[in-house]
């Protein structure tokens, strides 16, 4: 069928498909397509109705809201869990593919010419063993261990077996950082990059790179899904995302995990541990710096003196630096004209690139940049480290931004605080433990 690529592997609202209504109706009649209600409702008792969203599979009553709908002229329920990808209501028709699957041409197309360290090579061989014997695998690699290069090898094997693969990550920034490297490593492959606000390409790519939320759009599409940075918020907090990842797999497909700080909830058949960075230098150990009245200073539109000194020093040494803040509000209220980025910032991508290119000297950020950012010789400060948003895992990731290049394998990581927390202590000792391995 010539229009199969519009449908295969996807679950999408009728009105999003760029084909005429008659064409779609014909395919439905022929049985190549199936139509699902956007929101399924079932009445348990006269007073209790339960809902299920057929795109994101949420059944959490908290995710649903009802209002009078001008489209269907009646009370209509919609899903708030996946609304960022377009509103799915009771009156939405979702279309899935029922016909035969297309063949994937097996090909080995790795154009990356680098070499792996012995540790990376060993982890890759273990992973390849899992792929060959039909097992799921976890790569536990410290920040800067070179997990992406290990992933290249695994992707090459999956592709040469004629299997479809998606790499999913909870964080858009990680996706944006990964996309060019992946395209560089597989020059001839079509790689689709999906995140909130990205284009929605037609058909299934050779490789799909997507935020975990974007996997909601897929239905029986992939043989393998690799979850990168598997522990990052919000994936670890959201059970419906696990269901969505499973929905995107063909039956008998595999979920693999790659993470620097894996939580205990992730289960795979086999595991590999990489405790050393690719350049062999130890991880930078954070230092704690008291800034007892930082809140008072900030509310008076003053930079806390210890931080002021730190920034002045970085400027003098001409090192790029990142300052992490616990809240968007504190970030925005920070005095001065330093560029700042947060989750909703439209030019986040561009600002990070400017920092990398040395066009700007420093950047203020929320925890949104805790992962995936690789900038040579980067120095790190965290303001208000005692705040609960800075969990052990977040702090390990933040510290892992420093000392990533072989040229500058060290870097300053300062946690400014008004009281050392258990999470701060645990993050520091976890890093020290890994350094001793």
Partner 1 sequence: MKCLLCDRQLMRDTWSSLFTGKQDCVCKSCRASFNKIASSPERRYVKGTELEGALDSIFCFYSYNSSMQNYFQRYKGEGDHILHLVFSKELRLREPCVPIPSYQDSSFKRSFCHVDELFCGNNLLHLLKKTTSIKQSSRNLAQRIQSSNPFELLPGAQVPEKIVLIDDIFTTGVTMNQAAAILKKHGAKQVHGICLVETLEKNDETETRKGIKL
Residue closer to partner 1, measured from CB, 87 or 200: 87
From residue 105, how far is each of 15, 163, 213, 253, 360 by CA, in Å?
31, 9, 28, 18, 45
332 touches, from partner 1, Zn ion, none (C-beta below 5 to 8 Å by class) = partner 1
Q: Which residue among 65, 202, 239, 406 contacts partner 1 (CB under 8 A)?
A: 65
78 sits near partner 1 (criterion: CB under 8 A): yes
For the CA atoms of 41, 45, 47, 52, the dihedral, rounded to the nearest 10 degrees, stands at: -20
Q: Give the one residue of 44, 70, 264, 422 binding partner 1; rule: CB under 8 A.
A: 70
Site string for Zn ion, 231-270 (x = CB under 5 A): ----------------------------------------
Please, what is the minimum distance in Å from the beta carbon of residue 224 to Zn ion? 24
- List CB contacts of 109: < 8 A, sequence separation 6 or more: 156, 159, 186, 187, 188, 189, 206
Cα Dmax for the chain = 72
In three-state secondary structure terms, 44 is strand
Among 153, 284, 362, 409, binds partner 1 (CB under 8 A): 362
For residue 177, the minimal CB distance to Zn ion (Å) is 28
Binding status of residue 56 toward Zn ion by CB under 5 A: yes
* Site map 76..105 versus Zn ion, x via CB under 5 A: x--x-xx------x-x--------------
Q: How big is the site for partner 1, counted in residues (CB under 8 A)?
A: 35
CA nearest 166: which of 254, 43, 96, 298? 254
- Minimal distance, residue 313 CB to partner 1, in Å: 13
Contact of residue 82 among Zn ion, partner 1, none (CB under 5-8 Å per partner type): Zn ion
Do the beta carbons of residue 225 and residue 249 sit within 8 Å?
A: yes
Residues 6+ apart with CB under 8 A from 107: 159, 160
Using CA atoms, how far apart are residues 363 and 23, in angstroms rounded to an integer?
Answer: 51
Under the criterion CB under 8 A, does residue 68 sit at the interface with partner 1? yes
Tokens of 429: 């000792």
By the rule CB under 5 A, 71 interacts with Zn ion: yes
Q: What are phi and psi of 340, to 5 degrees?
A: -140, 145
Which residues, other chains included, contact 15 with Cβ-Cβ below 8 Å and sequence gap of 6+?
none
Locate 420 and state its tokens. Answer: 């050392």
Alpha-carbon distance 48 to 189, whole Å?
Answer: 50
Contact residues: partner 1, CB under 8 A = 62, 65, 67-71, 76, 78, 80, 83-84, 86-87, 89, 301-303, 308, 311, 315, 327-329, 332, 334-339, 344, 360-362
Contact residues: Zn ion, CB under 5 A = 53, 55-56, 69, 71-72, 76, 79, 81-82, 89, 91
């Amino acid at each position: 069928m010539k229009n199969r690529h519009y449908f295969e592997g996807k679950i999408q609202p009728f009105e999003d498909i760029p084909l005429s209504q008659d064409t779609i109706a014909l395919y439905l009649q022929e049985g190549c397509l199936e139509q699902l209600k956007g929101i399924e409702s079932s009445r348990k008792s006269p007073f209790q109705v339960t809902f299920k969203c057929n795109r994101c599979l949420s059944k959490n009553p908290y995710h649903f809201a009802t209002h009078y709908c001008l489209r269907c002229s009646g009370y209509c329920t919609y899903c708030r869990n996946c609304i960022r990808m377009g509103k799915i209501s009771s009156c939405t028709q979702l279309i899935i593919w029922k016909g035969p699957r297309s063949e994937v041409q097996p090909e080995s197309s790795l154009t990356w010419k680098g070499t792996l360290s012995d540790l990376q090579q060993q982890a890759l061989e273990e992973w390849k063993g899992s792929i060959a014997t039909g097992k799921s695998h976890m790569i536990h690699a410290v920040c800067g261990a070179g997990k992406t290069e290990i992933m290249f090898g695994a992707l090459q094997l999956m592709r040469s077996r004629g299997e479809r693969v998606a790499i999913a990550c909870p964080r858009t920034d990680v996706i944006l950082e990964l996309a060019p490297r992946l395209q560089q490593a597989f020059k001839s492959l079509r790689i689709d990059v999906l995140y909130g606000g990205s284009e929605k390409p037609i058909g299934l790519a050779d490789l799909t790179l997507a935020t975990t939320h974007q996997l909601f759009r897929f239905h029986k599409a992939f043989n393998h899904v690799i979850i990168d940075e598997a522990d990052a918020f919000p994936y670890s907090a959201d059970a419906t995302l696990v269901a969505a990842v499973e929905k995107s797999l063909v039956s008998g497909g595999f979920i693999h995990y790659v993470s620097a700080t894996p939580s205990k909830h992730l289960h795979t058949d086999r595991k590999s541990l990489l405790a050393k960075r690719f350049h062999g230098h130890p991880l930078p150990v954070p230092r704690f710096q008291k800034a007892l009245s930082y809140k008072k200073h900030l509310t008076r539109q003053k930079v806390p003196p210890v931080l002021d000194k730190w920034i002045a020093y970085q400027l003098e040494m001409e090192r790029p630096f990142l300052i992490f803040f616990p809240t968007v509000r504190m970030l925005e209220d920070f005095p001065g004209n330093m560029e700042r980025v947060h989750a909703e910032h439209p030019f986040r991508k561009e600002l990070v690139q400017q920092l990398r290119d040395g066009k700007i000297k420093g950047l203020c950020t929320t925890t949104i940049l805790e992962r995936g950012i690789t900038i040579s010789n980067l120095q790190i400060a965290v303001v208000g480290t005692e705040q609960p948003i800075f969990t052990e895992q977040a702090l390990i990731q933040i510290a892992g931004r420093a000392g990533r290049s072989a040229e500058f394998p060290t870097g300053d990581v300062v946690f400014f605080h008004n009281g050392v927390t258990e999470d701060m202590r645990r993050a520091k000792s976890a890093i020290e433990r890994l350094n001793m391995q």
